């Protein structure tokens, strides 16, 4: 009598992170990633609302772990785990140290409704504004002043003013800098948002408030620019540029 064909269980590559019961097949590095998810599940069962933060220099001391963490990002986000690689061991250790001081910042917590646990939100400049679009051309100054009622219409029988006198009367602040002359100091431009966040954190730890501005560059795709400013005063701009250079930050002046 012929034996019945064995029943094959359906398997998927995501089972190593998604399956709650049964048998899964994974490597040692993948097991470390799964450990983070299991710890979150244990905390939830214990009634704890916790978040995880993983950092370190990429490839040291365990090669491939950073790649495994990135590939499992959607599972880690559900478990409130944030992976943020460090530019070096010292910066990674500093960021880990910062997460252990969250109790010093009121309102900083791992919220179950916000699976992305972001350490950098406790640093200065947590909000990242969008890149502003091109400004519309400024209206003619004479037209704007007339519309605002700052210049009275001359009497009909008044003698025409000389060219020099008319210029002085209509534009007493001609020597003042234009309002549109604003500058940024750009510390870096990256294709990776994680690299931009790393530089922003380094600047914050050095006492500088920076912003990450996202923009699309033709033929280059999306870029994440780390910028300080804006500056209206060129003297302040140059002082900041010089101080950043002394701190080891190579910045470029961007007119905006």
| 183-255 CATH fold | Alpha-Beta Plaits (3.30.70)
What is the reported pLDDT for 61?
A: 66
Task: Tally the C-alpha atoms within 13 A of residue 186's C-alpha that lie toward its C-beta.
Answer: 14
Nearest to 115 by CA among 72, 78, 73, 71: 78
For the chain, the structural domain boundaries read 15-121, 183-255
More confident residue, 41 or 206: 41
More confident residue, 249 or 113: 249
Query: Considering the chain, what percentage of its residues have pLDDT values greater than 90?
Result: 21
Nearest to 118 by CA among 44, 168, 193: 193
More confident residue, 106 or 242: 242
For 131-151, how does the pLDDT look when each residue is reduced to its tens digit (9 = 90+)? 444 444 444 555 555 555 554
More confident residue, 2 or 89: 89
Q: Identify the bridge partners of residue 190 per DSSP, sorted by sequence position.
A: 224
For 190-237, how does the pLDDT look when each residue is reduced to its tens digit (9 = 90+)? 999 999 998 998 888 777 889 999 999 888 899 999 999 999 888 889
Q: Which of 52-61, 68-77, 216-225, 246-255 has the lowest mean pLDDT?
A: 52-61
The end-to-end CA distance of the chain, in Å, is: 83
Place of tokens 């549109």: 180
What is the reported pLDDT for 188?
A: 93
Instruction: Supply the pTM of this predicted model.
Output: 0.42
């Amino acid at each position: 009598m012929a034996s019945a064909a064995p029943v094959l269980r359906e398997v998927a590559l995501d089972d190593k992170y998604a399956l709650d019961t049964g048998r899964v097949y994974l490597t040692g590095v993948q097991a470390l990633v799964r450990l983070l998810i299991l710890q979150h599940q244990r905390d939830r069962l214990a009634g704890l609302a916790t978040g995880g933060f993983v950092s370190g220099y990429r490839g040291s001391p365990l090669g491939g772990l950073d790649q495994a963490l990135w590939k499992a990002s959607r599972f880690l986000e559900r478990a409130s785990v944030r992976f943020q690689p460090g530019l070096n061991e010292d910066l990674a250790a500093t960021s880990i140290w910062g997460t252990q001081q969250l109790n010093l910042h009121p309102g900083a917590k791992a919220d179950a409704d916000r699976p992305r646990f972001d350490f950098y939100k406790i640093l200065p400049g947590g909000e990242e504004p969008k890149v502003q679009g091109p400004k519309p051309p400024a209206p003619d100054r004479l037209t704007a002043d007339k519309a605002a009622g700052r210049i009275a219409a001359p009497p009909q029988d008044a003698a025409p003013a000389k060219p020099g006198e008319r210029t002085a009367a209509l534009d007493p602040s001609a020597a003042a800098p234009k309002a549109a002359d604003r500058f940024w100091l750009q510390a870096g431009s990256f294709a990776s948002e994680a690299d931009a966040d790393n530089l922003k954190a380094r600047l914050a730890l050095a006492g500088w408030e920076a912003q990450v501005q996202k923009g699309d560059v033709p033929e280059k795709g999306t870029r994440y620019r780390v910028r300080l400013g804006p500056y209206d005063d060129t003297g302040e701009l140059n002082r900041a540029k010089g101080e950043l250079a002394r701190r080891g930050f190579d910045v470029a002046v961007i007119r905006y």
